[in-house]
Amino acid sequence: MTPSVRWRPDREGTFTGICLGAWAVAVALVPEARIKLALLAPVAAVALTYWLLGGPMRWLAAFVFAAILLPPLPLPGGDSGLSIAPLLAGFGLLSSLIWLRCWRPPWHPVTGALVAFAGALLASLAFALVYSGWRIALGSFARVGLFCISILVFLYAYAGPRPALWNELRFARYLYGLAIAAAVFACADFYFQFPVPAGFGNQFIWLQDAVLRRAQGLFYEASTLGNFCAFFLVMTAVTYIRTRRESPLPRMILFSGGLILAAALVLSYSRASMVNVAVAIAALGFIRLQRLRRSIFTAAGVLVLAAFAIHTVNPELSDNYWGRLLGSFSFFFTTPDKILSGRLSSWSGLADFLTGHPWHVLFGIGYKTLPYSSFTGGPIVADNTYLALLVETGVPGLVSFVALNILILRTGWRALQSADSTTAFLGEWIFCFWCGQVVQMLSGDLITYWRVLPVYFWVLGAAARGSRDA
């Protein structure tokens, strides 16, 4: 009888090398580029998967990079094409299972509020199916899934595994670098008016000699960019008001970064995001009244320099912007609907719908159906998070969302009082910004900004974790 052959490690390595060599020769000999890419794609996918799952925080770093700096692919799906960021969020679920034994108990008051709010969104999908059809209901289900990415990021930041050398401030610096890169591209995009890779919001600035697309950078529309810049401008202010020893970034980087973020915010033409920053600075002043003077001068200097740079490059654009901003105050009481870009008409139409159909207040008509369904008489963009939730998800959705906002502010307030400097910094950052966020939600549906919302919830989760550990 012939003895059976047993593979030894050296033979296994030789066999693997022969297979890889044959594959490399096949790739080299194939003449067509498409076939070459088809042969390379599986190996690249395996290598990327191996890297993403090789450490507990790699998927998160890759996800925020893709969400902030990678444009959507010009493929059918969604309003603006397909993004690879949700795919990377799927690796977050796999990483959670791989490192499950390293998790801590995930319970936190914000966790309960997030679960309750997500449950209200899911429950409303039944009414979306009944009133608007399965296609719109399927789109609403996808948007609920995108919001749940933020829940995953919060839980991972609060209770997930941590490498031995992990540092929250280091990751915050990484996020700040991504934000600066996104703001630089947004300014360049506004100046050169690059062709958009996929869908985008129809938001333009009408000058005498040109029609310019508002700065939106790599996001779907300009308001998302403005909100994102506001978040990191608040970080700049919170960081600058701290002592040099406590600051995670040098003063020169903060000043330069703040100038770039302020310029991108101005070019986005988002007045609501400007209000967001103003409210956040007011909240910061309430917390740090003694040190506020230095931050006021710094913030004013950054805004003045950004405005001067824009005026130097394009005086007509600068005059148009400041005229629009000042006109918002001058003519608010005479033509409020025009100043609010038609929002009063939308709000009035939704109020009339609820008055004529009061039973829909109980459970809503389905999450994210207003812009796509004709159930209320025609597609309506509510441009108000609270009113949209009342109409789409009813009282359960609105109440759970208000409770979520209260708990976010409470968590940030408790964290900023921590003796740990990192926890206090993160808590102060998220508390001040969310004060402005609560106000800005009156003029926009901010919970649909799924590409930037996970970044906010990471700061919230990290602050809650530090507060718990302290």
- Supply the pLDDT for residue 285: 85
**Phi (first) and psi of residue 213, to 5 degrees:** -75, 130
Count of other CB atoms within 10 angstroms of residue 280:
27
- Supply the pLDDT for residue 437: 98
Please give the biggest Cα pair distance in the chain.
101
Alpha-carbon distance of 91 to 168, in angstroms, equals 21
At which residue do the structure tokens 């600058």 appear?
A: 240
Q: What is the pLDDT along the chain (470 residues), one digit of tens a residue?
A: 444 444 444 444 455 556 556 656 665 666 676 776 666 677 778 788 888 898 899 999 999 999 999 888 776 666 677 889 999 999 999 999 999 999 999 999 999 999 999 999 999 999 999 999 999 999 999 999 999 999 999 999 999 998 877 789 999 999 999 999 999 999 998 888 888 766 677 777 766 676 778 888 888 888 999 999 999 999 999 998 887 777 888 888 998 999 999 999 988 888 899 999 999 998 998 888 755 555 556 666 666 666 666 656 666 555 555 555 555 555 455 555 455 556 778 888 898 899 998 999 999 999 999 999 989 888 898 889 999 999 999 999 999 999 999 999 999 999 999 999 999 999 999 999 999 999 999 988 999 999 999 999 999 999 999 999 87
- Supply the pLDDT for residue 225: 94
Among 85, 97, 106, 86, residue whose Cα is nearest residue 53: 97
**Phi (first) and psi of residue 245, to 5 degrees:** -70, -35
Alpha-carbon distance of 26 to 44, in angstroms, equals 16
- Supply the pLDDT for residue 195: 81
SS in 3 state form for the chain? CCCCCCCCHHHHHHHHHHHHHHHHHHHHHCCCHHHHHHHHHHHHHHHHHHHHCCCCCHHHHHHHHHHHHCCCECCCCCCCCECCHHHHHHHHHHHHHHCHHHCCCCCCHHHHHHHHHHHHHHHHHHHHHHHHCHHHHHHHHHHHHHHHHHHHHHHHHHHCCCCCCCCHHHHHHHHHHHHHHHHHHHHHHHHHCCCCCCCCCCCEEECCCCEEECCCCCCCCHHHHHHHHHHHHHHHHHHHCCCCCCCCCCHHHHHHHHHHHHHHHHHHCCHHHHHHHHHHHHHHHHHCCCCHHHHHHHHHHHHHHHHHHHHHHCHHHHHHHHHHHHHHHHCCCCCHHHHCCCHHHHHHHHHHHHHHCCCHHHHCCCCCCCCCCCCCCCCCCCCCHHHHHHHHHHHHHHHHHHHHHHHHHHHHHHHHCCCCHHHHHHHHHHHHHHHHHHHHHHHCCHHHCCCCHHHHHHHHHHHHHHHHHC
* Residues paired with 213 in a beta bridge: 204
- Supply the pLDDT for residue 44: 75
Long-range contacts of residues 333-337, Cβ cutoff 8 Å, at least 24 apart: none
Alpha-carbon distance of 327 to 288, in angstroms, equals 32
CB 76 within 8 A of CB 466: no
Among 167, 171, 156, residue whose Cα is nearest residue 111: 156
Domain residue limits, the chain: 43-72+80-102, 110-161+342-470, 168-330
